[in-house]
Amino acid sequence: MCQNSTPEYSLLSKLNSPCSPPSFKQLEKAIQGDTFDWQALKSQIKLDENGLIPAIAQQFDTKEVLMMAWMNLPSIEETLKTGRVCYWSRSRQNYWRKGEASGQIQLLKSLAFDCDGDTILLTVDQTGPACHTGRRSCFYSQVKGDKLEITSAPLIDPSVLYKN
């Protein structure tokens, strides 16, 4: 069932069919507290030609950006169901449950879409390093003037991290 906080002013009252899935463009007019059926709304997610959407993982308490990876609808559903982040690996063409090989898991705190419905922001509780290099974040290189500087050291040697 579709719900909203104030029917007379909400987006739902402006749509022809109150329970039809709105587009992300239509969601711009929604007010705080409006809710929409997830099963209907997920058909409006903008996936690329391979059925993928970029997902940015951010540490929930520090707001540090940890990594960017790809998700598809089944990996989104698994993540929401289990509370443990699951991505789609383009190189392996398979599901990638963060921490399967390394033990460095991501527990989901929230999953949000950007205004266009074409990017996901995951707030997570990251155990240990998020990057396969052993660093906390995959964003460890920074352009400074005409140089690229490495801005963080590995927390753990990758050969120890991936001992299997």
The domain limits of the chain are: 12-44, 53-161
pTM: 0.84
User: Which tokens hold the place of 29?
Assistant: 């007019």
Checking if the pLDDT of 53 tops 80, the result is yes
pLDDT at 4 over 50: no
Strand residues in the chain grouped as ranges (E) = 53-59, 65-71, 86-89, 94-97, 106-113, 120-126, 141-144, 147-150
The answer on pLDDT for 13 being more than 60 is no
Read off the pLDDT band of 20 (50, 70, 90). low
Token pair listed for 58: 């951010």
What is the CATH number assigned to the segment(s) 53-161?
3.10.20.810
User: Nearest to residue 161, comparing CAs of 140, 136, 139, 133?
Assistant: 133
Q: Is 31 exposed, middle or buried (0-12, 13-18, 19+ CB in 10 A)?
A: exposed
Neighbours of 156 (CB within 10 A): 15
| pLDDT for the residue numbered 51 | 98
Average pLDDT over every residue of 83-87: 98
User: How far apart are alpha carbons 126 and 92 in whole angstroms?
Assistant: 23
The yes-or-no verdict on residue 163 having pLDDT over 80 is no
pLDDT band at 10 (very low <50, low <70, confident <90, very high): very low
Instruction: Please give the Cα distance from 91 to 16 (Å, whole number).
Output: 43
Range 69-76 average pLDDT: 98
